[in-house]
Structure 1
Amino acid sequence: METQVIYNSDLHFEHEHWRSELFFWKDEMRSFKNRLEELVTRWTDKEVLARLEHFQNEFILHEGRINEFLEGIEKHEHLIAGKSMEGEISMDTVMVKDHMEFRNEMQVQRELFTELKKEFFTFLTRYM
């Protein structure tokens, strides 16, 4: 069986990609919240207001996950930096396993956020 080496620089590159994606999501959230504020002033229908509250809650939850991901990346970056300072250019099995789990969590969050955006845009099309 061949051993695969995962280099710190590769993990760092993926972290940077994730950071960019997460900051983009944060920016989208600001835009979505602005839309919510506009709609709250336009509608008095309880059903519409309930849907607005639903989206507001979903956005708050999603923002919390974004912040958790950013913190997780920061922690992993510190571990990578520590290994690099020790002269190690590749990660140990445990750290790579953690990174792969994080990658999977990011993918799940991507899918959840995509579905939320579709739902929100459908709602906006109907009520804007």
Structure 2
Amino acid sequence: MKTDVLYNSNMHFEHELWKGELDFWKDELKSFNNRLSELVTRWTDKDVLAQLEHYQNEFVLHGSVIEDLEEVIEEHETRIEGQSIEGEDAIDMPLAKKHIEFRNRIETQREIYSKLKKEFFRFLEKYM
């Protein structure tokens, strides 16, 4: 049975990739909110406005999730940095376990965000 080892350098590299992805999501959310602002000025229909509010709430919620994910990454980075300063080569098993759990959380969030974007694009096609 093969056991994968999570080295600090590999976890750091993955953190950097995730931070870039989260930054991209934040930029997208800004663009999506700009689209919502445009639509609010075009529509007075209560059903359309209710959908706009729904997406606005979803984008706020997703923004909060992004902030939470960024905080966890920073906590992991601080722990890795602490080990590097102390010159520890030992594998931090609790951190490695948290990293794998976090990877799963990121993957789940990707799916949720992707679904939200698809729904929003369909909405834009209909009302833009």
Which TM bucket (shorter chain)?
over 0.9
What are the ranges of 5 or more consecutive residues in structure 1 without an aligned counterpart? none
Residue number in structure 2 paired with 1:82: 82
- Kindly state the Cα deviation for residue 92 of structure 1 after the two structures are TM-superposed: 1.5
Q: For 2:25, what is the secondary structure of its paired residue?
A: helix
- Kindly state the Cα deviation for residue 86 of structure 1 after the two structures are TM-superposed: 1.3
Residue number in structure 2 paired with 1:41: 41
1:28 aligned to 2:28? Answer: yes
State the number of aligned residues.
128
Aligned positions of 1:1-128 closer than 5 A: 4-89=4-89, 91-128=91-128
Normalized against structure 1, the TM-score is what?
A: 0.96
CA distance change for structure 1 residues 2 and 124 in 2, over 3 Å: closer, same or farther?
closer
The RMSD of aligned alpha carbons is: 1.2
- Kindly state the Cα deviation for residue 49 of structure 1 after the two structures are TM-superposed: 0.1
Normalized against structure 2, the TM-score is what?
A: 0.96
How many Å separate the matches in 2 of 1:69 and 1:8? 19
How many Å separate the matches in 2 of 1:116 and 1:43? 21
Q: For 1:44, what is the secondary structure of its paired residue?
A: coil
Give, as a single letter, the amino acid of the residue that structure 2 aligns with 1:68: D
How many Å separate the matches in 2 of 1:34 and 1:21? 20
Which structure has more relative contact order (CA 8 Å, sep 6+)? It is 1
How many Å separate the matches in 2 of 1:36 and 1:61? 15
